[in-house]
């Protein structure tokens, strides 16, 4: 069972996703409480001994992804994520989407888009080949399924994830090695705005390349097998399918669903995706699969441009002088700034560190506190809000604001 009862129940708790996604309002675990332990295992098997095992330690915030294969004596870690020494860049978006489709076909309990995307997207690395128009609707639908809420539009979880895993413009290059397997490398990490953290680099002895390739190949076989029934070539089904593979195709799903229900040997998951979909995105990938279209082809047509397509963000560093200030000064200021940015939909802020020195009596004195700030879409508005908060806390004259790497240029505080 991929998601056992304990994990399924825990995933229904909003606190689970706040902790799993490292959201700043997640409840703080009591690491000293021996009874406060929460760990779960999710196994995503595609058959023939191939699959992925996700080990979730909610209390410590450590999440390990391992690969199983017949030739491996035990699951081999292919990536992990925490808030310290992470290596989460394991797979491409196209691989995750493929695996999620195959898992949905192999195990009907894993609806797509749904828990597979929501849980495993943290192990994706995005590059120039990845299109927000293709990705956004699927991730929005996945989070809506596992974390329902009223309303429509871009999910905050989708944007947070996309920005965190977006390494476009960071010099990533995928190459096929002598073993015939794909590996990823970064051309010039010193000049890139973000670093690649991956075990899947050329020549790595830590990544099970052959087993990973076998996993992907097995997923492709499952999709091919799901559309091998001769009945799918019947004229009535082909005509109905052709009408669905257009920009307005979602309006023609009913005739296709009716035709499939009367056909023989059609995969029940594909029929369900058209007759009882939990989202339009579920019907979309089913039509793509039935039509033999590359993943994402219809997503672009049915959903149009993603809100993330033209989105911009700026990473800033704020240094606060805290000597001779109350102990709570920096924490209260950054908390106030984070709340204001989030309320305006402009981003977030968090404390990242600080510096100390010893005074004449040998005591440790806090000299400064550093904070990371993310401003989205409207930099002038973001800077204006930062200025307002700094002045409210009488800190504008001594604070230093600058862009994050690779060009840490100072920014005048308005």
**248 Cβ partners below 8 Å, 6+ apart?**
none
Q: What pLDDT was estimated at residue 357?
A: 84
Q: Judge if 65 and 169 occupy the same domain.
A: yes
Q: Judge if 212 and 318 occupy the same domain.
A: no
386 backbone dihedrals φ, ψ, rounded to 5°: -60, -45
CATH number of the domain residue 357 falls in: 3.30.70.60
Structural domain range at position 43: 5-224
Q: Please report which helix (H) or strand (E) contains residue 44, including its range.
A: strand 39-47
Flag whether pLDDT at 36 surpasses 60: no
Q: Please report which helix (H) or strand (E) contains residue 97, including its range.
A: helix 93-106
Residues 130, 136, 137, 141: is their CA dihedral positive or negative?
positive
Whether 239 is in a domain gets the answer no
Q: Is the peptide bond before 330 cis (omega within 30 degrees of 0)?
A: no
Whether 259 is in a domain gets the answer no
Q: Measure the CA–CA gap between 135 and 137, rounded to whole angstroms.
A: 6
Q: Judge if 192 and 323 occupy the same domain.
A: no
Confidence grade of residue 327 (pLDDT, cut at 50, 70, 90): confident
Kind of pairing, strands 50-57 and 76-81?
Answer: unpaired
82-110: pLDDT as tens digits: 988 999 999 999 999 999 999 999 999 99
pLDDT above 70 coverage of the chain, percent: 97
Q: Judge if 212 and 319 occupy the same domain.
A: no
Confidence grade of residue 31 (pLDDT, cut at 50, 70, 90): low
Whether 120 is in a domain gets the answer yes
Q: Judge if 106 and 205 occupy the same domain.
A: yes
Confidence grade of residue 14 (pLDDT, cut at 50, 70, 90): confident
Whether 280 is in a domain gets the answer no
Q: Judge if 180 and 31 occupy the same domain.
A: yes
DSSP string, 199-234: S--TT-SSS-HHHHHHHHHHHHHHHHHHT--GGGGS
Q: Judge if 317 and 220 occupy the same domain.
A: no
- Residue of 227, 231, 230, 252 whose CA lies nearest to 242: 252
- Residue of 329, 324, 314, 323 whose CA lies nearest to 390: 329
Boundary residue ending a domain (176, 203, 224): 224
Boundary residue ending a domain (224, 254, 276): 224
Q: Judge if 170 and 73 occupy the same domain.
A: yes
Q: What pLDDT was estimated at residue 10?
A: 94
Angle formed by the axes of helices 280-291 and 268-275, nearest 10°? 140
58-86: pLDDT as tens digits: 999 999 999 999 999 999 999 999 988 99
Helices (H) and strands (E) in the chain, counts: 14, 10
Whether 374 is in a domain gets the answer yes
Rounded mean pLDDT, 294-301: 94
Residues 299, 385: contact at Cβ < 8 Å? no
182-238: pLDDT as tens digits: 999 998 888 888 899 999 999 999 999 999 999 999 999 999 999 998 999 999 999
Rounded mean pLDDT, 308-336: 92
Q: What pLDDT was estimated at residue 356?
A: 82
Q: Measure the CA–CA gap between 309 and 319, rounded to whole angstroms.
A: 32
Whether 363 is in a domain gets the answer yes
Boundary residue ending a domain (224, 245, 266): 224
Q: What pLDDT was estimated at residue 1?
A: 66
Q: What pLDDT was estimated at residue 32?
A: 58
123-142: pLDDT as tens digits: 999 999 999 999 999 999 99
- Total of domains in the chain: 2
Q: Judge if 170 and 43 occupy the same domain.
A: yes
Confidence grade of residue 359 (pLDDT, cut at 50, 70, 90): confident
DSSP classification of residue 315: E
DSSP classification of residue 294: P
Q: Measure the CA–CA gap between 225 and 223, rounded to whole angstroms.
A: 5
Q: Judge if 95 and 196 occupy the same domain.
A: yes
Flag whether pLDDT at 269 surpasses 80: yes
Whether 20 is in a domain gets the answer yes
Angle formed by the axes of helices 268-275 and 253-262, nearest 10°? 150
Q: What pLDDT was estimated at residue 7?
A: 94
230-239: pLDDT as tens digits: 999 999 999 9
Whether 298 is in a domain gets the answer no
Q: Judging by beta carbons within 10 Å of its beta carbon (0-12, 13-18, 19+), is residue 190 exposed, middle or buried?
A: exposed
Q: What pLDDT was estimated at residue 208?
A: 97
Q: Measure the CA–CA gap between 113 and 283, rounded to whole angstroms.
A: 10
Q: Measure the CA–CA gap between 411 and 401, rounded to whole angstroms.
A: 5
Confidence grade of residue 364 (pLDDT, cut at 50, 70, 90): confident
Q: Judge if 186 and 333 occupy the same domain.
A: no
Q: What pLDDT was estimated at residue 34?
A: 54
Q: Which of 126-140, 275-289, 321-335, 358-372 is least confident? A: 358-372
């Amino acid at each position: 069972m991929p998601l056992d009862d304990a994990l399924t129940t825990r995933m229904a708790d909003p606190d689970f996703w706040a902790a799993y996604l490292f959201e700043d309002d997640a409840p703080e675990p009591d690491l000293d409480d021996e009874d406060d332990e929460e760990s779960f295992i999710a196994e995503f098997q595609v058959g023939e001994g191939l699959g992925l095992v996700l080990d979730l330690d909610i209390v410590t915030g450590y999440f390990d992804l391992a690969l199983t294969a017949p030739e491996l004596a035990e699951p081999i870690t292919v990536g992990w994520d925490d808030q310290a020494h992470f290596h989460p860049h394991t797979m491409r978006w196209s691989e995750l989407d493929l695996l999620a489709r195959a898992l949905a076909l192999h195990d009907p309990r894993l609806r797509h888009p749904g828990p597979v995307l929501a849980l495993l997207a943290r192990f994706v690395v995005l590059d120039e080949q990845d299109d927000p128009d293709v990705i956004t609707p699927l991730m929005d639908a996945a989070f809506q399924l596992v974390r329902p809420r009223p309303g429509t539009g871009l999910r905050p979880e989708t944007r947070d994830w996309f920005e965190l895993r977006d390494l476009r413009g960071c010099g990533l290059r995928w190459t096929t090695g002598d073993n015939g397997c794909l590996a990823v490398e970064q051309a010039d990490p010193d000049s890139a705005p973000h670093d690649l953290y991956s075990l899947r680099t050329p020549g790595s002895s830590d990544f099970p390349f052959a087993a990973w390739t076998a996993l992907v190949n097995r997923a492709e076989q499952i999709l091919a097998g799901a559309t091998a029934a001769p009945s799918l070539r019947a004229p009535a089904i082909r005509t109905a399918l052709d009408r669905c593979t257009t920009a307005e195709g979602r309006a023609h799903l009913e005739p296709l669903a009716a035709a499939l229900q009367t056909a023989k040997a059609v995969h029940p998951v594909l029929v369900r995706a058209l007759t009882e979909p939990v989202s339009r995105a579920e019907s979309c990938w089913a039509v793509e699969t039935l039509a033999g279209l590359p993943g994402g082809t219809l997503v672009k047509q049915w959903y149009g441009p993603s809100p993330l397509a033209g989105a911009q963000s700026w990473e800033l560093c704020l240094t606060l002088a805290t000597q001779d200030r109350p102990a709570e000064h920096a924490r209260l200021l950054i908390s106030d700034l984070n709340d204001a940015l989030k309320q305006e939909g402009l981003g977030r802020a968090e404390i990242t560190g600080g510096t100390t020195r010893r005074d004449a009596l040998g005591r440790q004195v806090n000299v400064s506190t550093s904070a990371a700030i993310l401003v989205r879409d409207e930099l002038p508005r973001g800077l204006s809000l930062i200025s307002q908060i700094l002045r409210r806390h009488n800190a504008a004259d001594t604070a230093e604001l600058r862009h994050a790497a690779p060009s840490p240029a100072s920014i005048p505080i308005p």
